Amino acid sequence: MHSKAYSRLGVFAWSPTGVEPKGLIVADFAQYFDPTSANVSSSIEFLPIDSIYSSPRPVPSISVPIQYRFNELSWSYSASSAHSLGIVAGGTEDGSVVFLDADSIINKSQANILSAQRVHQGHVLSVAHSQDSRWLLSGGGSGQLLLWDLTNFSTFSPGKPNYPDQIKMVRWNKKADQIAACISSHRCSVYDLRRPGAPIIEFGELGSGCDWNGLSWNPTDASSLILCSQSDALPLVQRWDLRFATAPLKDLRLHQKGVSAVDWWEYLEKLF
């Protein structure tokens, strides 16, 4: 395996299954600021997979100016004539959730904004689409969680959390389309869209030392997920089972510094 050099302070989303050409959509990161830079413009780029494989220094095939900078991108597949390469959604620094047509970026070199609604308070730190690409979740300040219909970009709240903390990450269950979870610094909240209202489960409160930063659902078990804390004072990874959410199944404290991201490898999930 050879390393590749593509340097940019940005956020990205891989092309979903069913979309050709394969590659990355990359946009400027909202939480970076260089006071010495004379260039304050933003852009969104497409980095084709062919360039990644063939060159040690891959370069984008498309770079399009855009007025937004993003905290996270989510690229969902929509098998419709209107959006043949899917929809790219992003959470911005001004509270907007922006939806872009991927085909316009890749084939027309245009940032075709399908919808941009400023409905969150503060930064929208996380966005994620459901496994069936029908819904998008976005999380922002004051515990605000919004559910978006990707067929018409209408939005409503799936329920109110019990605590008004800033939502740092949202993720859909990989086996049950109606289940989603979000994390704030001190807890994880799980929602069942069949039961609107408060979260069905909340857990992970560990006191002032914890700072949850990453969340990942088990790819084969709908009741299991892992969390990680980015706090240097409490750098841990925990595995939880929603059926027994009074305490974690596993509590791993092997890191010396805070853990910034966590994910499953499907073939080793039984060994965790």
pLDDT tens by residue, 24-60: 999 999 988 888 877 788 999 999 998 888 888 888 9
Which structural domain, as residue segments, surrounds residue 206? 158-272
Residues 123 and 169 in one domain: no
Closest CA to 188 of 205, 207, 175: 205
Q: Does any domain span residue 73?
A: yes
Residues 249 and 189 in one domain: yes
- What are 211-225's pLDDT values in tens digits? 999 999 999 999 999
Return the half-sphere exposure (C-beta side, CA atoms, 13 A cut-off) of residue 173.
Answer: 19
Q: What is the pLDDT of residue 9?
A: 86
DSSP strand E in the chain: where?
A: 10-14, 23-28, 42-48, 62-66, 70-76, 87-92, 96-101, 113-118, 126-129, 135-139, 145-149, 154-156, 169-172, 179-183, 188-192, 201-203, 212-217, 224-229, 237-241, 250-252
Q: Does any domain span residue 228?
A: yes
Q: Does any domain span residue 105?
A: yes
CATH number where 7 lies: 2.130.10.10
Number of domains in the chain: 2
Q: What is the pLDDT of residue 130?
A: 94
Residues 10 and 103 in one domain: yes
Residues 123 and 11 in one domain: yes
pTM, rounded to two decimals = 0.92
